[in-house]
Amino acid sequence: MKLTVWTYEGPPHVGAMRVATGMTDLHYVLHAPQGDTYADLLFTMIERRDHRPPVTYTTFQARDLGADTANLFKQAAQDAYDRFKPQAIIVGASCTAELIQDDPGGMAETMGLPVPTIPLELPSYQRKENFGADETFFQIVKTLAKPMERTKQITANLIGPTALGFRHRDDIQEVTALLSDMGISVNVVAPMTSSPADIALMGAAHFNVLMYPETAESAARWMERELGQSYTKIVPIGVGATRDFVNEVAEMTGVAPYLDTSRLRLPWYSKSVDSTYLTGKRVFLFGDGTHVLAAARVAQDEMGFEVVGMGCYNREMARPVRAKAKEMGIEATITDDYLEVERTIEALQPEMILGTQMERHIGKRLGIPCAVISAPVHVQDFPARYSPQMGIEGANVIFDTWVHPLVMGLEEHLLHMFREDFEFHDAAGPSHHGGHSPLADAGGPAPQTPRDISSQEKMQGVDVIWLPAAEKELKKIPFFVRGKARRNTEVFATERGVAEISVDTLYEAKAHYAR
Amino acid sequence: MTELPRLPAAGGCRDTPILKQRGQREVFCGLTGIIWLHRKMQDAFFLVIGSRTCAHLLQSAAGVMIFAEPRFGTAILEETDLAGLADAQDELDKVVDELLTRRPDIKQLFLVGSCPSEVIKLDLSKAAERMTQRHAPSVRVLNFSGSGIETTFTQGEDACLASMVPVLPDTKERQLLLVGALPDVVEEQAIGLLEAMGIGPIKVLPAPRADDDLGVGKGTVYALTQPFLGDTHDALTRRGARHIPAPFPFGEEGTTGWLAAIATEFGVAPDLFEKVTAAPRARARKAIAQAAEALNGKSIFFFPDSQLEIPLARFLTRECGMDAIEVGAPFIHKGIVGPDLDLLATGPTISEGQDVDLQLDRAKAAKPDLTVCGLGLANPLEAEGLATKWAIELVFTPVHFYEQAGDLAGLFSRPIRRANLLKLEAAE
């Protein structure tokens, strides 16, 4: 039993729903109690989908448990087929149905429905949403895709995009354009946009572009083995990664590498003098492994930030994330415990968080700016405008998105100079944001702050006390660097065995850390 | 003299045959109630014993992720709990100890059963008893079920309140108990009106804090403020308290009918009743009239969701001039919504439970001007050209009593006004 407040990933059957909802002409018959229908709103509300997800829930009740839930399942499957006439059906159980062991897969097979029926085994008490998506897509591909003659011209399948994915909609367009510029066209995009009939044609492509390892790596490996299609290992997020991706595709296909950089602005924007203030900004990265790995490279090499911490919530990606962290000389946080992520951020005191919607809330509470780089998603992660993460436009979007939460160049100095100004004060926040960034203590209806029972894990800084004059001096430092100043001073004092921080200690630390 | 709501000349819906279909139900489970209950009871923590799905539902149904640490959480069952490798009761003790150490401000802990915990027959009442002894007197531990196999949406609140009734101390005092979790502002308005009529003492279930001196007994009469409190109603009756049947306090008529039933019970003089209610009644009528302009003559179709459907249909048809086509409710408890059914003129189909695909067919054929439904159905119906009102807003928003009657009508008129407002096509 594990105490959980917020979760990064849903249960595995939600992953299966992301695959089914992204596709067309596929139906998912899910053995589940009525409450599980909440999952529909993820798609209709967060993603603003204009159709119900293609899912029939059996919605059994307590009184059915003693009677015949198996028959209920068969009836639901038959009704779903009759009503929706899908090209293929996937069947499975949610966490509760898994316990009553009705074997939906076996039952569906005996029904003799005239379309392929694909059973899913998604262990709800061991695995999570990304696994569910990956496994479901793999089973669909394994059942429907067959070796076949390749297309005459060089084509690729784009695999991995699903419903409710972070910017998947726009990444598809961007990657399609990257390939098109090299004279490579797209055979099938799956699971999102494809029907079971399209999946059956996947074997015609010359290779696969694995856009999101989280949701399509198993399928990519299977297709490599069974259909002889190699797949790309580089995810084209950021300028460097996009260039590497182009070279990787060129090597795989024998086509000359080509990248149209006429619209690429990130490098110049990053070099232009206004961006000097980005130098060495301390950032913390958290999200799914793929986006965090990409963000680490962009943050360090393309924005000139200092990555002070990174991690991911999906254990499947723990190994590469740990390796990257080691390479950067930091420790990786691999956890799906929201409170642990919050503690880590609190201890590291970064100047910016690049995380998920959950870290955005941590940032709000701690007064640290945050930009969102990964799922889990919220309604605002589905902007009306074109807003990819991948390719050339993706790099431009990333520059804008990451810079937006920060106080900009000259404003930083002005805030410093006029810190007593009634409008230009401490807590006013970046002037290009309409509202005011919340103060740490302006919690609104927030309940009592919980007592932290993990103080032993916290920064060493807790042993040091601040003398009133130093505390006052600290308050004169603008809020967006105050956290860093406090932390640096405390570390500085602790390392030197200084128990009380005076104004002098503060400035000695400042001199020590000057860069 | 105050004019009370008149019964429809052609008869009400109390004896209308109820359409019952069995199929997929597109509804939340009772766990959803935790989202508002944990804000209402400020020293309570709700611990769901369930799966990752339960935790995911709670954060998704909230629609927002509350940035502070919420006063609810999920003890997620793992493989070892299910395989019997770990004693689930011991594991639960560990989780609760961890939780109470972390949150010493908690005075009431609710262990909330879920679909998985019920299927594996985890005995939460035994656990609650043991923990109450262990943590007494600082924490009281209760249990109820919010599972999807036992409860639908607002039934979670019912189960929670019903679980509190047996442990309330006995009192012989003559008192009025208002039952149902309402936003504070609304609750205070109701109490203000009743006190102005000289009625008292007035108590509220749920009380905002565990140590409030709330008791129940033979001298207690109670009025429900929400129509979904069937089990709580039964539990209070078992404690000797007596129910005051009334229409629910939505709109001017509902509020007047509800107040009048209580006033009659307490022997309030008619002119005092008139004096207290005249001004807010007039305000409510005026506010409703403004919002109702957009609703007059429009048709409405209710999908089953919160059990508020029947009282709301009564309000919208009688006070806002709407025509109800179908009024669907997850459950119909005539002992509770009977007075509202009496006031709702015959005509609409009254349905209980759901086969969502068949009901969608009916809604699409009827082409109502406004469809009240859950979040999973709203955008798909909008995409087909039907204006919708999300039902969940009705349990999150202050909508009861006179001063909110205009807001309540406004919740329904806004989608229609918006549809008229948007001009997204090219000019002629």
* The three-state (H, E, C) secondary structure of B251-282, written as one string: HHHHHHHHHHHHHHHCCCCHHHHHHHHHHHHH
CB contact under 8 A, B55 and A7: yes
**Percent of chain A scoring above 70 in pLDDT:** 88
The predicted model gives B57-62 an average pLDDT of 82
B280 part of a folded domain:
no
CB count in 10 Å sphere of residue B235: 20
Residues B142 and B227 in one domain: no
Tally of structural domains, chain B: 3
Query: What angle, 0 to 180 degrees and rounded to 10, lies between the N-to-C axes of helices B251-265 and B270-292?
Result: 170
Q: Which pLDDT band, with edges at 50, 70 and 90, does A442 fall under?
A: very low
Tally of structural domains, chain A: 4
B9 part of a folded domain:
no
Residue with more model confidence, A456 or B143: B143
List pLDDT tens digits, range A99-151.
Answer: 998 899 999 999 999 999 999 999 999 999 999 999 999 999 999 999 999 99
Distance CA A52, CA B332 (A): 27
Pick the residue from chain A with its C-alpha nearest to B93: A1
Residues B303 and B388 in one domain: yes
Quote the domain boundaries for residue A191: 145-253
Residues B250 and B347 in one domain: no
Measured between beta carbons, the chain B residues lying within 8 angstroms of A450 are 69, 102-103
A258 part of a folded domain:
no
What pLDDT, on the 0 to 100 scale, is given for residue B395? 86
Residues B381 and B294 in one domain: yes
Residues B268 and B296 in one domain: no
A438 part of a folded domain:
no
CA angle A156, A16, A192 (to 5 degrees): 30
Pick the residue from chain B with its C-alpha nearest to A62: B149
B156 part of a folded domain:
no
**Residue A53, pLDDT above cutoff 80:** yes
A136 part of a folded domain:
no
- Taking only residues 337 to 366 of chain B, the set having a beta carbon closer than 8 angstroms to any beta carbon of chain A reads 357
Flag whether residue A472 sits within 8 Å of chain B, measured between CB atoms: no
Residues B295 and B400 in one domain: yes
Choose one of A406, A423, A438: the last residue of a domain. A406
**Residue B118, pLDDT above cutoff 80:** yes
List pLDDT tens digits, range B326-376.
Answer: 999 999 999 999 999 999 999 999 999 999 999 999 999 999 999 999 989
**Residue A418, pLDDT above cutoff 80:** no
Q: Which of B249, B234, B182, B217 is nearest to B41 (CA)?
A: B182
Residues A248 and A273 in one domain: no
**Residue A167, pLDDT above cutoff 90:** yes
B312 part of a folded domain:
yes
Residue with more model confidence, B246 or A460: B246
B167 part of a folded domain:
no
Residues A270 and A398 in one domain: yes
Measured between beta carbons, the chain A residues lying within 8 angstroms of B150 are 61-62
B162 part of a folded domain:
no
Residues A361 and A314 in one domain: yes
CB contact under 8 A, B379 and A44: yes
The predicted model gives A282-299 an average pLDDT of 98
Choose one of B250, B272, B294: the last residue of a domain. B272
Distance CA B329, CA B228 (A): 10
Of B24, B102, B150, the CB nearest to A450: B102
Encoded amino acid at B178, one letter: L
| Ranges assigned E (strand) in A335-381 | 352-355, 370-372
What pLDDT, on the 0 to 100 scale, is given for residue B24? 93
- Count the residues in chain A: 515
> Which of the residues of A are catalytic?
274
Measured between beta carbons, the chain B residues lying within 8 angstroms of A17 are none
Residues A382 and A478 in one domain: no
CATH number of the structural domain spanning residue A34: 3.40.50.1980
Choose one of B248, B272, B296: the last residue of a domain. B272
Q: Which pLDDT band, with edges at 50, 70 and 90, does A158 fall under?
A: very high
**Percent of chain B scoring above 90 in pLDDT:** 81
Residue with more model confidence, A303 or A484: A303
A2 part of a folded domain:
no
**Percent of chain B scoring above 70 in pLDDT:** 97
Flag whether residue A5 sits within 8 Å of chain B, measured between CB atoms: yes
Q: Which pLDDT band, with edges at 50, 70 and 90, does A437 fall under?
A: very low
Task: Indicate which of B78, B109, B115 best probes the interface with A, i.e. most A CBs within 10 Å of its own CB.
Answer: B115
What pLDDT, on the 0 to 100 scale, is given for residue A43? 95
Q: Which of A420-429, B112-121, B241-250 has the lowest mean pLDDT?
A: A420-429
Q: Which pLDDT band, with edges at 50, 70 and 90, does A444 fall under?
A: very low
**Residue B8, pLDDT above cutoff 80:** yes
What pLDDT, on the 0 to 100 scale, is given for residue B396? 80
Choose one of B238, B272, B306: the last residue of a domain. B272
Provide the mean pLDDT of chain A.
Answer: 89
**Percent of chain A scoring above 90 in pLDDT:** 70
Per-residue three-class SS string for A132-170: HHHHHHHHHHHHHCCCCCCCCCCEEEEECCCCCCCCHHH
Q: Which pLDDT band, with edges at 50, 70 and 90, does A409 fall under?
A: low
CB count in 10 Å sphere of residue A414: 15
Of B31, B71, B378, the CB nearest to A44: B378
Flag whether residue A7 sits within 8 Å of chain B, measured between CB atoms: yes
Encoded amino acid at B11, one letter: G
Of A41, A357, A451, the CB nearest to B376: A41
B159 part of a folded domain:
no
Provide the mean pLDDT of chain B.
Answer: 93
Distance CA A200, CA A513 (A): 60
List pLDDT tens digits, range A322-381.
Answer: 999 999 999 999 999 988 999 999 999 999 999 998 898 889 888 899 999 999 988 889
Residues B293 and B411 in one domain: yes
Pairing, β A230-231 against β B108-113: unpaired
Of B55, B103, B148, the CB nearest to A33: B148
B427 part of a folded domain:
no
Residues A152 and A115 in one domain: no
Choose one of A225, A253, A281: the last residue of a domain. A253
CATH number of the structural domain spanning residue B67: 3.40.50.1980
Q: Which pLDDT band, with edges at 50, 70 and 90, does A453 fall under?
A: very low
Question: In this structure, what DSSP letter does residue A274 have?
Answer: G
Q: Which of A439, A338, A358 is nearest to B67 (CA)?
A: A358
Residues B334 and B389 in one domain: yes
Residues B142 and B248 in one domain: no
What pLDDT, on the 0 to 100 scale, is given for residue B363? 97
Q: Which pLDDT band, with edges at 50, 70 and 90, does B269 fall under?
A: very high
Distance CA B115, CA B104 (A): 29
Q: Which pLDDT band, with edges at 50, 70 and 90, does A390 fall under?
A: very high
Quote the domain boundaries for residue B122: 30-151
Residues B407 and B290 in one domain: yes
Q: Which of A418-422, B262-266, B269-273, B307-311 has the lowest mean pLDDT?
A: A418-422
What pLDDT, on the 0 to 100 scale, is given for residue A434? 54
Residues B41 and B147 in one domain: yes
Pick the residue from chain B with its C-alpha nearest to A442: B68
A499 part of a folded domain:
yes
Residues A294 and A386 in one domain: yes
Distance CA A39, CA A13 (A): 10
Q: Tokens 């009528």 sit at which residue?
A: B285
Residues A153 and A113 in one domain: no
Residues A162 and A247 in one domain: yes
**Residue A44, pLDDT above cutoff 90:** yes
Tokens linked to A176: 């399609």
| Cα A64–chain centre separation | 39
CA angle B377, B297, B380 (to 5 degrees): 15
- Taking only residues 197 to 236 of chain A, the set having a beta carbon closer than 8 angstroms to any beta carbon of chain B reads none
**Residue B199, pLDDT above cutoff 50:** yes
What pLDDT, on the 0 to 100 scale, is given for residue B415? 94
**Residue A498, pLDDT above cutoff 80:** yes
A1 part of a folded domain:
no
Measured between beta carbons, the chain B residues lying within 8 angstroms of A82 are none
Residues A274 and A388 in one domain: yes
Find all residues with CB under 8 Å of A214, minimum gap 6, and list them: A130, A133, A134, A160, A288, A289, A290, A314, A316, A317
CA-based nearest distance B55→chain A, Å: 7
